[in-house]
Structure 1
Amino acid sequence: MALNSVVTSNAKRYLETMLRDLNFTLDDWAIYRELTGQSGELGGLSDQLWAVDTGDEDERAICGERGQWLRDSYRPWHGYLALFVCLFGSVANLFNIAVLTRKEMRSPTNVILTGLAVADLMVMVEYIPFAYRRHISTIKDTFSYPDTLYILFHAHFAQVFHTISIWMTVMLAVWRFLSIVHMHTASRCCSMRNSICCIVATYVLTPIICIPSYFTFSLRGHPTPSGQVLYRIDISSLGRAHGGLLSRVNFWLFAVAIKLVPCLALTYFSVRLIGVLLETKRRKQRLLSGCQPAGEHHPLARGSRQADRTTWMLVTVLLLFLITEFPQGILALLSGILQDRFFRSCYLHVGELLDMLALINSAVNFLLYCLMNKQFRVEFRALMSLPARPCRRRRTHTVNKLRQACVTDTTCV
């Protein structure tokens, strides 16, 4: 039930006076409500007080009440779901690293997949204490210096390794595209040495590229009359200098260079690659139509089915990546264009859901490899000392010779 204008005005003045005694502003109060996840009657009262003379009602019109309802409904579950996904994903990525580094699996493409697994593993391992501390633990010390410093560290750490994961995925698409479309170029450029050099360069350059983010944010302390100092993350003095130049640079770097550009690049290479694979499938079907009927057991038919599995695996990887990264890039772009108005009313409401999508994307690669790559399954069974599945001998001497002539390495894609 909404408060009338007289009551809300008086309540707002009282709130401002109380916050001023604590050396806080209404902006700090809004951030406090976001951090503590206030809801229910107290949260509704706070929202009405915040709406007075601040334009918050107009802000809500951007995303509506559903955004806040979605946040309040999902937030109690986020910590437990994130903890489960991170524990599963950490073990899964350890398996990925163990299998992909086996002698039988060494190849340029699998080296990239190993680099991707390491980055995903680092993201998930670091998120485990964060999820427990912020969403599960009953001990709340939100505004202490160590807790606020850890949140700032978590933000930078996750950004660096998630960016590495993004560019590893783009590198994987480029390598696969070259190996199929430009085989002569791939034999010269996509060597084991070049793959390792690109991975090392990605791990070294990404923290350097993220330097603007390190200087954009800092810890801001608020002393209280009791002598206690409350801390929160705020734009640094360097970030505010020159009309917020560094903040704008950091925004464009995050929203465009780190999010949207990799999405567009991966979309381009993946679509081109899928088109090539589908064209190969059509050619095989035309060849099969001129042969004696041999049913689905014909060697070319089996090769066509393998191409289909590879195509669907690429489509799955592409969709998972786009579902995770494109929304974050678009929301970050809108936050920069519409400024704080959009950020508070929309972005903050879906931030935890976007985190969950990114965590799931980092955890499911092991399942994809097991489902869609026979060599990975064989090596995983050998790693776990499981008996190998019996296989039937087929008369595929001609096809095997062609494969030996064309395939130079073992890949999981």
Structure 2
Amino acid sequence: MSSLNSTMSYPILNESSLNFSETTVELSESQLNVTESLLYDDEVQEFDNEEKTWIFGAPLLLVFGTISNILVIAVLMRKKFRKSSWGLYLTTLAICDTLLLYMFSLDSWLQIVFKIWISDETVAGCKVYRFVSYFLIHFVAWILVAVSCERIVFIYFPMKAKIVCRRRTACIVLGSIAFILTGVNAHIFWTFSLTEYDGFYYCDLVDNIAELMGPQFVIIFLWLDLSIASLVPFLFMVACNIAIITRLIMSDRQRRAATSDGAQKSNTTSIAIMLVSTSTTFVILTLPVAICMVLSLNDEFTSTGNNMDNLYFAKRIAEFVQQINSVLNFWLYCLTGKAFRTELKAMLCCERFSGTPGVSNAYVTRSVTATTAMEHNPALKHMKVNGQNHTVKNGQEHTKL
């Protein structure tokens, strides 16, 4: 009997243990549901923050960016800067920045507010939109590389700069960059199209991309885009900026040692500082997007859905920060470029010229001094040929950009 009770009591104990296990499982599922709910709430909060950033930020970027870039173009088209090579580079940069603002900021704002996708309406629109967007992103980066290299020539080889750094040369450089980038991005016209996903059409790589371009095309395309838009320009601009800043510091020390009161910064130095600040700001503001692109290529990082969601949110914020770069150039020119500030003030005050076009204040001072000395010293009159003093002419050639 005791043995029977023991035998009968065993199933009861086992059933209780089973019920306890089921309760434990139920509690675990409940905890899992709570965890999933919390994660979902975090995702919703991140999505709301991203939407608010673009809803309120995009109109501000468009308004301030458009006004700023129009002012940049207006100043650089004045007679003083119109014939300079760097003026052509910065004018082209301002036009590209304006186009990028309307292609990305306006497009993101329309998607969030009105649920309108410009690139997803037609196949032709998809291909053209993708090509122009990639082309402009690459073109802006390499314009700044060209400007940085030109400043290197101006500062380290000032005599050759008169021959090399001309507006005609700038046109050839810009045309060559545009031609190369057109060839690099030409594949977009047959690798991108409207792709169906869950009943909707999105502008993305075609479904048979592996058969059309090879199994490794996506990885090659992402690395190529990353290198052209970010990595290689970063290396060029950082190296050029370090070289320029080093030479400017050395020149400033030599100038201070040669004069007791310290000489005024030359026009070339002022423009170099302005362009260095522009390229440095570009590197800083576009670096987050480059980091997100590198992380997206890492399979270990993107193996979990949580990392993918966080990366998407970070990339969207980084893209917004990148758009700020298209607005800041005007303020950087005003802050660091004395010649630009002077010409802007002259334009806003409706003055035709802000002094002698293409000639720095230092040249004007030397011209007056040389003319006065010649008038008081008849021995210098034989240096005058065709109505122009050689001292004045040499000063003009030395200071003119």
Provide the TM-score with structure 2 as the length reference. Answer: 0.71
> What is the number of equivalent residue pairs in this alignment?
342
Deviation digits for residues 253-291 of structure 1, max 9, x if unmatched?
111232100011000001100100001011112223xx4
Cα 1:71/1:180, change in 2 over 3 Å: farther
- Is 1:206–2:177 an aligned residue pair? no
What's the counterpart of residue 118 of structure 1? 95
Aligned residue runs from structure 1 range 300-339, under 5 A = 300-303=262-265, 313-338=274-299
- Is 1:263–2:239 an aligned residue pair? no
Matches of 2:29 and 2:296, distance apart in 1:
33
Cα 1:230/1:69, change in 2 over 3 Å: closer
Letter in 2 for 1:259: S
Contact 1:216 1:246 in 2 (8 A): no
Matches of 1:152 and 1:45, distance apart in 2:
39
- Is 1:397–2:361 an aligned residue pair? no
What's the counterpart of residue 249 of structure 1? 220
Letter in 1 for 2:121: P
**Higher relative contact order, chain-length normalized (CA < 8 Å, sep 6+):** 1
Identity percentage of aligned residues: 20
Query: CA-atom RMSD, angstroms?
Result: 4.0
1:231 to 195, 198, 201: 201
What's the counterpart of residue 354 of structure 1? 318
Letter in 2 for 1:357: V
Matches of 1:259 and 1:249, distance apart in 2:
15
Contact 1:160 1:210 in 2 (8 A): yes
1:84 to 37, 47, 60: 60
What's the counterpart of residue 173 of structure 1? 148
Q: Residue 360 of structure 1: CA displacement?
A: 1.2
Cα 1:388/1:44, change in 2 over 3 Å: farther
What's the counterpart of residue 376 of structure 1? 340
Contact 1:212 1:249 in 2 (8 A): no
Aligned residue runs from structure 1 range 178-193, under 5 A = 178-193=153-168
Q: Residue 373 of structure 1: CA displacement?
A: 2.5
Contact 2:137 2:229 in 1 (8 A): no
Query: Counterpart of 1:337 in 2: which secondary structure?
Result: coil
What's the counterpart of residue 76 of structure 2? 100
Contact 1:259 1:329 in 2 (8 A): yes
What's the counterpart of residue 240 of structure 1? 210
Letter in 2 for 1:183: P
Contact 2:126 2:192 in 1 (8 A): no
Cα 1:390/1:347, change in 2 over 3 Å: same
Cα 1:108/1:387, change in 2 over 3 Å: closer
Q: Residue 332 of structure 1: CA displacement?
A: 1.3
Query: Counterpart of 1:219 in 2: which secondary structure?
Result: strand
Letter in 2 for 1:248: I
Contact 1:124 1:359 in 2 (8 A): yes
Provide the TM-score with structure 1 as the length reference. Answer: 0.69
- Is 1:408–2:400 an aligned residue pair? yes
Contact 2:62 2:106 in 1 (8 A): no
What's the counterpart of residue 106 of structure 2? 129
Task: Specify the structure having the higher radius of gyration (Cα).
Answer: 2
What's the counterpart of residue 31 of structure 1? none
Cα 1:309/1:72, change in 2 over 3 Å: farther
Contact 1:120 1:362 in 2 (8 A): yes
Letter in 2 for 1:230: F
Matches of 2:38 and 2:190, distance apart in 1:
32
Contact 1:263 1:322 in 2 (8 A): yes
Cα 1:184/1:347, change in 2 over 3 Å: farther
Q: Residue 134 of structure 1: CA displacement?
A: 1.5
Unaligned 5+ residue runs, structure 1? 12-40, 49-64, 224-228, 292-297
